[in-house]
Amino acid sequence: MKNLVLIGFMGTGKSVVGRALAARLDRPFVDVDEAIEREQGRPIRKIFAEQGEPAFRAVERAMIQRVTQRDGQVIAAGGGAIMDEGNLAALSRRGWLVWLTAEPDVILQRIGDPATRPLLNTADPRARVAELLALRQATYAKADAVVETSRRTVEQVVHEIIRIGEKAW
C-alpha cells in the first residue's frame, strides 16, 4: 500500500490534515518536520539559526530517506522538502503525492507570527510567501492531486483527498 504524501507550502494544513487523514484511514502518521525536531532535540528555527538552511536540508534529506523505507503511512513533508530532487524522487517512488494549497493571506493567518518561520522572518512576509510560492509552484505541480484548503474544514479536505485518491491507491 503506497504512502499518502502531503506536500505544499507551510500553513496549507499538511500536519493537521495529515493527522486527521491517518486517523480516518487507520494508517500511521509521520510529520517529517516533527520527526526532525524530535531527533535533533530542538526546533527547526534553531537548526536554521545555528547551522543554516543547507545543514537543515541535509538532516531533512536523511529523515525522508528513512521515512520512505516504509509503506502504508500518511506523511506530511516539510514545505521545501520536495525542492530537493532526491526527496521528491523518494517520496514519489513509494507514495501518492497530494499538493495542499492555500491563498497567501490564509497562509499568513494560519502560521501566526512569521518571525517564528526562518524563511519568512523578513520585512515583508507576504511578499516572501508570494516569492516562495512562485519558486516552488512547478515542483509542487508534480503532485498526483491538488486540494485547495483555504475555505475548507479539515474534515472537508480529508474527504476530498479520499474521494480523489480512492481510484489511485
The string over 93-109, giving b where at least 16 C-beta atoms fall within 10 Å of a residue's C-beta and e elsewhere, is ebbbbbbbbbebebbbe
The tens digit of pLDDT for each residue in 36-92 reads 999 999 999 899 889 998 999 999 999 999 999 999 999 999 999 999 999 999 999
Q: Does domain 3-164 have CATH number 3.40.50.300?
A: yes
What is the reported pTM?
Answer: 0.92
The tens digit of pLDDT for each residue in 86-134 reads 999 999 999 999 999 999 999 988 987 766 676 677 778 888 889 999 9
How many other CB atoms are found less than 10 A from the CB of residue 37? Answer: 16
